[in-house]
Amino acid sequence: MRKIFFYAALAGLAMVPSIAAAYGGEAPAKAAVAVINDPAHGWNELGTHVLIDMLAFTVVFSIISFYFVFKYTRKSENQEGALPKISRGTSLAWAIIPTFLFLADDFYLAANGFKLWNDQRHVPEGALEVKLTGHMWTWEFDYGNGVRNDVDKEDRPILIVPQGRPVVLRMSSEDVNHSFFIPDYRIKEDLMKGRVTYLWFYPKEVGEHVITCAEFCGTKHSDMFGKVKVVPPAQFEAFLAAKSAPKAATASAPAPAPAEVAPAPAQPAPPAGGKAS
C-alpha cells in the first residue's frame, strides 16, 4: 500500500507546475497601459503546445503498442498468455498514477485554455464597433452613421477595418443560425435571430482574410463568404468619410501619419431590437 502512496504522490507532484501556471499566470493588464492580448497569436501558441502534447502521447503509446504487438506472439500451438498476477496495490497504482498524469495534463491545458478564453471574450477598450447582420446567404456590416460595407465584383461582402485597432462585431441573424468565421484570426461565433452575440479580433497587419459561414444554413451555406480587408488607418478614415452622409463628415478629420495608432471615437453600435446576450 505504501508503495502506491509514494508513486501517487510523485505523480501528484506533476500537477504542481500546472496549478502554479493557473494561478501564477499574469492577469490581463488594466486599461492604463492597454496591453492587448491578441487571441490569434494566443491560439497559435496554445495550439503548438497542444500539438506537442498530442505528439508526446502518440510517441509513447505507439512505441509501447508496437513493441507489445510484435514481441508477444504465439510461439507454440497451445501456448497461453503469461500476464502476471498483480497485487491489489499494483492494480490500484495502475489506476491512480495514470489518472494523476492525465489530470496533470488536463490542469495544464485547462489553465492555459482558460487564459486564452478570457482574452477571446474580453473586448479591449477602444475597439472599433461594427454591427453585423447575417442572413441567407450573406453578411452585412454597419459601421454606424449610415456607413455600410462595400461588396467586391462578385457581390461578396468586404469588412474593411483599420490596421492596428481591435474590432468587435456585434452580431445577429435575420433568419436561421449562421456562424461568422475568420480562419486567419482563429475565431468564430454563432449568429441567431433574437439574440446579439459578439466576437473580436486584432488586425495587426495589412492584408485580406477569408470570412465564411460555419453553421449549416441551407442551399448556399458554402457560398456565404467574403473577406476582411485590413487597410492603413488613413484609408479606413477615407472609407468612412466617403460613405457617411455629408453632414456627419465633420466627425472624422484625416489622420496625419499611419505610424500613430490613434483610435477614432468609438462607433456607437446599440443592438437594434434583439435581446442583449
Partner 1 sequence: MIKEWLFTTDHKRVGILYLIGSIAAFAVAGIMALLLRIELSTLGHTIMEADTYNTFLYFHGAAMILGFLIPGLTGFMANYLVPIMIGAHDVAFPRLNALSVWLFWAGIVLALLTFVIPDPPDIMWTGYPPYSVQTAGNTAFYVFTVHLIGFSSLLGAANFLTTVVYMRAPGMGWNQLNIFVWATVGAFIVQLIFVPVLASAVTLLLLDKYLGTAFYDAVKGGDVFLYQNLFWFYSHPAVYVIALPAVGALLEIISTHTRNPIFNYKVTVYGGVIGVVLLGSDVWAHHLYASGIADWLRIGMMFTTLLISVPMGLLTISMVGTFYKGAARYPTPMLYASSCLFLILIGGLTGIPLALTSLTLHLHGTYFVMAHFHFIMGIMATFALFASIYHWFPKFTGRMYNETAGKVGFWLNFIGVNVTFLVLFDIGVRGMPRRYYDYQMFPQFEFYQQIATVGALIIVLGMTVTILNWIVGAIAGEKATDNPWGSRSLEWTHTQTPPGPGNFPTPPVVDENWSPYNYGGHTAKTI
Kindly state the smallest distance separating residue 249's Cβ from partner 1, in Å: 34
Which of these, 165, 161, 172, 143, lies nearest to 267 by C-alpha position? 143
**Binding of partner 1 by 68 (CB under 8 A):** yes
Coil, strand or helix: which one is 243?
helix
**Binding of partner 1 by 83 (CB under 8 A):** yes
Kindly state the smallest distance separating residue 201's Cβ from partner 1, in Å: 11
Residue 242: phi and psi, rounded to 5, are: -65, -35
Which of these, 176, 175, 180, lies nearest to 131 by C-alpha position? 180
Residues 180-199 that bind partner 1 (CB under 8 A): 181, 183-184, 186-195, 197, 199
Q: Contact letters (x/-) for partner 1, 147-176, by CB under 8 A?
A: ----------------------------xx
Select 146 or 216, whichever has its Cβ closest to partner 1. Answer: 216
* Distance of alpha carbon 125 from alpha carbon 263, whole angstroms: 10
Position among 117, 145, 249, 255 found at the interface with partner 1 (CB under 8 A): 117
Residues 238-267 that bind partner 1 (CB under 8 A): none
Give residue for cell 468586404: 158
* Distance of alpha carbon 214 from alpha carbon 179, whole angstroms: 5
Question: Which grid coordinates belong to 247?
Answer: 453632414
Residues 25-54 that bind partner 1 (CB under 8 A): 39, 42-43, 46-47, 50, 53-54
Position among 30, 153, 219, 256 found at the interface with partner 1 (CB under 8 A): 219
Position among 15, 22, 110, 264 found at the interface with partner 1 (CB under 8 A): 110
Give residue for cell 455629408: 246
Kindly state the smallest distance separating residue 113's Cβ from partner 1, in Å: 4
Roughly what angle, to the nearest 10 degrees, separates helices 15-24 and 2-13? 30
